[in-house]
Amino acid sequence: MKKKIAILGSTGSIGKSLIDIIKSDKKNFEITLLSTNKNYKVLIKQAKEFKVKNLIIKDKKSFDQFKKLKFSKKINTYYNFDNFKKFFRKKNDFIMSSITGLDGLEPTLKSIKFTKNILIANKEALICGWDLIKKELKKNKTNFIPIDSEHFSIWSLLQNQKSTNIEKLYITASGGPFLNLPKNKFSKIKIKDALKHPNWTMGKKITIDSSTLMNKVFEVIEAKNIFNLSYNKISILTHPNSYIHAILKFNNGLSKILIHEPNMKIPIFNSIYSEKKKYLKKKSFNLKIMNNLCLNKVDLKKFPLVKLLEKLPQNSSLYETILVTINDKLVYKFLDNEISFEELIRQIEKFSNLNEFQKYKKIKPKNIREIYTLMDYVSLKIDSISI
């Protein structure tokens, strides 16, 4: 029997990677739903190739353009995520949630009840809405698999182990394009320089987060949430080759390392083929990298945003929504050439330390409305203050 799978965000890099994997195994998978924000032309190609009957196009203008096409008459199409009941009469085997940004939180929460396994690649959802997600997972007895390479690695290493047995967790960071750039040259960094990631091909936003190491701040928060660890048990190590993704040191004296080449198809592939013999084409074991791992502590003078972790509350709070919104807003200002790279880092530090935001460190998110309302408030606050 074919495995049923829905892909939220099928036109993004994670969605496309999953599509590529399924393409070689169509006889074992049925895609029940695809979604996009604006890229309906790619969505149409995907729908035709896999004979998908249900589509969501979130952007209203793109949805209206799609509805003018003949193809739209042959398929069920909506522009929001309120109609999962119409799409899914039975639970999917898998739903991949790979919509970027906090826009991905609502569809993630709504989709959990309609799948046996949810694969989440949306950082913001796991950072800001983990308590809400965890509640839905438990309520609907849905299995959760993190897809980010670091968290999938931790999840894999913890099979038959409890997170309480972890003495120390190390998450690795490539260091982005500026790992070896002298600090006194940061003032000359241009947008095109920050977008030259040495190992990964990613979207512009996440590539900039990698260049500031803000992506690792977020990954530490995710790891704390997912695996119920305290911040003092998690550290970041720079590793230029992106070959090691996680190191677990257990309290029994053993340590485990998970390695794979920097290719998101690997965690995605292993998340959907955990119970079946299926092989992924891969490169040979890289002894050159293994003999030159170059693991080091983070240079906090170059990457001061890592120090934000020292001020975060141990329990999940609405402050994480503030931090995500501040970073998102300012990264796009940098990409729009409104602020410099150094100013981007300074302003993230400045806004995250505003007194009026500190009270949210003691407030747990009760519902998704609180998160989205706070996101809008913080965004307006940044716009109202001169940078």
Query: Could you report the per-residue pLDDT of 189-214, keeping only the tens digit for each?
Result: 999 999 998 887 788 999 999 999 99
Same domain flag for 296 and 322: no
pLDDT, residue 354, reads: 96
Which H or E element spans position 97?
Answer: strand 92-97
Asked whether residue 269 falls in the same domain as residue 318, the answer is: no
Is pLDDT above 90 for 243?
yes
Please report which confidence band the pLDDT of residue 290 belongs to, taking 50, 70 and 90 as the band edges. confident
Q: What is the pLDDT of residue 387?
A: 65
Residues 258 and 280 placed together within one structural domain of the fold: yes
Q: What pLDDT band is residue 296 in, cutting at 50, 70 and 90?
A: very high
- Residue ranges making up the domain that contains 108: 3-147
Q: What is the pLDDT of residues 140-170, one digit of tens each?
A: 999 999 999 999 999 999 988 889 999 999 9
Out of 147, 163, 190, a domain closes at 147
Shared domain check, 357 and 274: no
Is residue 185 over pLDDT 90? yes
How far out from the chain centre does Cα 183 lie? 28
Average pLDDT over residues 106-111: 96
CATH code, domain with 322: 1.10.1740
pLDDT at position 44 is 96
pTM score, two decimals? 0.94
| Torsion on CA atoms 226, 325, 366, 310, rounded to nearest 10 | 50
Q: Are strands 92-97 and 115-120 parallel, antiparallel or unpaired?
A: parallel
Answer whether residue 276 shows pLDDT above 90: no
Q: Do 324 and 301 fall into the same domain?
A: no
How far apart CA 126 and CA 116 sit, in angstroms, is 18
Q: What is the pLDDT of residues 36-79, one digit of tens each?
A: 999 999 999 999 999 999 999 999 999 999 999 988 888 999 98
CATH of the domain at 122: 3.40.50.720
- Same domain for 365 and 257: no
Q: Domain boundary residue among 254, 279, 310?
A: 310
What integer best gives the mean pLDDT of the chain? Answer: 94
Residue 386 pLDDT? 66
Instruction: Let me know whether 182 and 211 are in one domain.
Output: yes
- Could you tell me if 295 and 269 lie in one domain? yes
Looking at 127, 147, 167, the residue that finishes a domain is 147
Are both 139 and 153 inside the same structural domain?
no
**Count of the separate structural domains present in the chain:** 3
Given pLDDT bands bounded at 50, 70 and 90, which one contains residue 275? Answer: low
Q: Do 296 and 317 belong to one domain? A: no
How many beta carbons lie within 10 A of that of residue 214, not counting itself? 25
Co-location of 288 and 335 in the same domain: no
Q: 157-162: long-range contacts (C-beta < 8 A, 24 or more apart)?
A: 157/246, 157/248, 157/256, 157/258, 158/227, 158/248, 161/250
**What pLDDT was estimated at residue 128?**
97
Residues 344 and 306 in one domain: no
